[in-house]
Amino acid sequence: MQTDSSFTFVLFGGTGDLSMRKILPALYEAHRAGGMLADSGKIVAVARHIADRAAYIDWVNEHVKPHVSKNGVDETAWASFLDRIEFVKIDLGNPEDFTLLRDALSGRPGIRVFYLATGPSLFVPICRALASVGLNENSRIVLEKPLGYDLKSSNAINDAVGEIFAEEQIYRIDHYLGKEPVQNLLALRFGNVLFEPLWRREWVESIQITIAEELGVEARGDFYDNTGALRDMVQNHLLQLLSIVAMEPPHSMDSDSVRDEKLRVLRALKPIDPRDIGKVAVRGQYHAGVIRGSAVPAYATEPGVKQDSNTETFVAVKVEIENWRWAGVPFFLRTGKRLADRVAEIVVNFRAVPHSALGASALRGGANRLVIRLQPNETIRLYCLAKQPGEGMNLASVHLDLAFDRFFREGQMEAYQRLLLDVINGRLALFVRRDEQEAAWRWVEPILNEWATANKPPKPYAAGTWGPAAASAMLAQHGTCWLEEEN
């Protein structure tokens, strides 16, 4: 993934948590690898409470360095990376300050990338200020989630940004789409004839997609209490992963071919009748509990959270896709905070054999399973039945493991690193198009509205567990269970 493309990467929110933990570490890794970033490429950080470049470099050394390179920092590469960084002090609330940015970028070759690592309320003012000083030409704009609070607010942001930047200039980022196993899911499905005949309702019994976190809301209580798990995770990450799993083969891997197929999945999602939401959607909120031996507080006592908050920290929802490939196959999506483990995975449960001459154990559907683990360790495992050594025909579940480190010498690329390189090089396939986003909001809105009007408290669950019992009961109605319950 080498490039000779010159660029200027402008980072709004240059002192924020996302910039420190993800964006700047990803850019450093690309720099350290050599050849991925043009030598002339520069990073321009924008913030208002740092005095000058020297103070910003001190800030980066203190806050970014701990998050780079699991095997330690290459001090030579780090020093040359810092040479790429420049700084412009701007008050984002003062459009006149953007003339300082315009002057700093004047005469620079190549493409300009504006990364908005800020709250969504600042997206439109920043874009308008950029346009007012002529910086919306020859540029790309990266928008972080959440993009709006509902369909109406999302459309308002997209309309305003779309007046300033063309759709092909807008990169709506979802970092789960940049993860290596998601890319390998595409390779497995569309590069091998083995899976395609099985990837349909005749052979798939159910699919689970889980994004579980051990952490609570941390210092984001104010933000999270006005957002909740449905907006924060389901509307974007989980529905994007669903569309990747369920999409038809695109005619090529160019950006619009891939996104056209994802859009068809999102538009084929079976609408949820408000009267059925209690049957197909579970919302929960964590109470005090214990995680890895340490006591953790209830959500309602977290800083920034209202004591009587009804905001959900857990969601499980059953999804159906109304098309010929997936009709009748339930997709179970689940996400939550303060759960028993940090894990993100896609579980494809294939149907059991229709008849077995090998005994009842060969009829277990759970043995025929594909598990795509996205975090913490990125793997793909295909589970099947094999005979145990010894007398008799006794079967046991075994797995074939796609171990990346055994087959490929190169280290795996982190999701943000891949996506930032795609922005710099103008590749849109792994970014969310506006019509995809609208389709996702449109499907989620009936759940949001019903929960808001019903005004019922979320179901409680103890921190350190896998969420409310109702989430397990929902799967039990379909004769299945979550993966960790079976194990």
Binding residues for NADP(+): 48, 91-92, 145
Residue with tokens 């493409």: 111
Name the residue among 211, 226, 287 with its Cα closest to residue 452: 226
DSSP per-residue letters across 201-235: TTTEEEEEEEEE-S---TT-HHHHHTTHHIIIIII
The order of strands in the sheet holding 170-172 is 85-89, 42-47, 7-12, 111-116, 139-143, 170-172
Name the residue among 224, 373, 198 with its Cα closest to residue 312: 224
Q: Which residues contribute to the annotated binding site for substrate?
A: 175, 179, 213, 232, 337
Contact 228, 150 (CB under 8 A): no
237 catalytic residue (yes or no): yes
Helix, strand, coil tally for the chain in percent (to 5): 40, 20, 35
Q: Which residues pair with 382 in a beta bridge?
A: 370, 400
Measure Cα distances from 343 to 313, 355, 399 in Å: 16, 34, 19
Q: Which residues contribute to the annotated binding site?
A: 48, 91-92, 145, 175, 179, 213, 232, 337
Contact 24, 60 (CB under 8 A): yes
**CA-based end-to-end distance of the chain:** 40
Is omega for the bond preceding 197 within 30 degrees of 0, making it cis?
no
Run of H or E including 373: strand 369-375
Q: At what angle do helices 255-267 and 239-246 cross, to 10 degrees?
A: 100
Measure Cα distances from 463 to 172, 253, 289, 469 in Å: 32, 42, 4, 13
Run of H or E including 18: helix 17-18
Q: At residue 453, what is the residue type? A: T
Quote the radius of gyration of the chain (alpha carbons, Å). 24
Name the residue among 355, 351, 354 with its Cα closest to residue 328: 351
Task: Identify the active-site residue in 63, 67, 237, 399.
Answer: 237
- Give the residue numbers marked as catalytic: 237
